[in-house]
Amino acid sequence: MWRRSLALIALGAIGLAAACERGREPPAVDRALIAIADRPTLRTDTIGVDRFASQATFVLADAKNLADVDAEVTIGGILVDADGREVAPLRPESLRIPAHGRRTFALIDRGRAARPTAVAARLDVRGARQPRFPEPVTIGDGHIYKDGDRAVVTGMVTNTTDRALVAIVLAGFHDASGAPMTRPFAAFELGAGASRPTRFVGPDGSRAAYIFLGDVTFCPRSGCEVTRAAPAFPAPPPN
C-alpha cells in the first residue's frame, strides 16, 4: 500500500534569455505524486566498512513516482519511540525515480548512532524535481532468479557518455510481503561507452529484487580514483 505525501508545488524560475534558460532550476514535480510505502523497515546494525564502520539505526523505505516524468526525489524523516515522540532525525537521501517507477531509500540516523528506543519512523518528501540531464548510466538485461531461499539479480551496467566515470550501483531486495530487506551496493569504474555485468545475491527469505543507479561521479582526465566508502546496509539476521 502507498500513501501520498502532502501536496506542495514549487515553481521553477522561468528564464527569458538563453543564458538564464541554461542556469534555471528544473521544473518541480508535485510532491503529492511521490508515494512512500507505509511499511518501512527499521533496523539497527553495523553500516559502512573498515574505518567507516559503526553501529547505527537506519530505515529502508520504498517510494514510487506516480508522475509521467522522471523525478529527482529527496526523502527525509525522524525516528520515533513507542509513544510517538521524536528520538532523532534521519539523514535525507536523494534518488532519481523513473516515471511510474520505484526506488528503495536508505535513511541513516543523522548522528550515525544506535537508537534503541526507536520503534518506527515518520517519513516525508522534502523535494521533487525533474532531472536536469539524461541518466549517464543505464542498467539493462536484468534477470532475477531463485537460489535456494534467496533471490539473485543480474544486469549490465553501461556508461552512455564519452567520459570515464564511477557509478554506485545498488540493489533492493524484498521479502514475500514486499517489505525491503537490504540494499547492497557496488562501485563501478567505467570508461567512455564501457559496459560491465553486475550480480547481487539477496539474504535468506528474499523473493524480489531489482538493480538501480545511485551516485555518478565523472572522472578527471588523470583517471578515476575511488576514495569514498558508501554505507553498506547488511542483510537481516536469519530467523
Last residue of a domain, one of 69, 104, 129: 129
Nearest to 119 by CA among 172, 43, 9: 43
Last residue of a domain, one of 90, 108, 129: 129
pLDDT tens string 6-59: 332 222 333 333 344 456 789 999 999 999 998 899 999 998 878 888 899 999
C-alpha 11/C-alpha 136 separation (Å) is: 26
Domain that holds residue 28: 2-129
C-alpha 209/C-alpha 62 separation (Å) is: 12
Residue 224 lies in a domain: no
Q: Are residues 153 and 69 in the same domain?
A: no
Q: Are residues 51 and 113 in the same domain?
A: yes
Give exposure, 53-91, as e/b (b: 16+ Cβ within 10 Å): eeebbbbbbbbbbbbeebbbbbbbbbbbeeeeeebeebb
CATH at 64: 2.60.40
Per DSSP, 31 falls in state G
Q: Are residues 160 and 44 in the same domain?
A: no
Number of domains composing the chain? 2
CATH at 155: 2.60.40.3230
C-alpha cell at position 86: 521524536
| pLDDT (0 to 100) of residue 227 | 56
Mean pLDDT of 166-189: 95
Q: Are residues 43 and 74 in the same domain?
A: yes
Q: Are residues 163 and 112 in the same domain?
A: no
Instruction: Give 222's pLDDT tier (boundaries 50, 70, 90).
Output: confident
Q: What is the pTM of this model?
A: 0.85
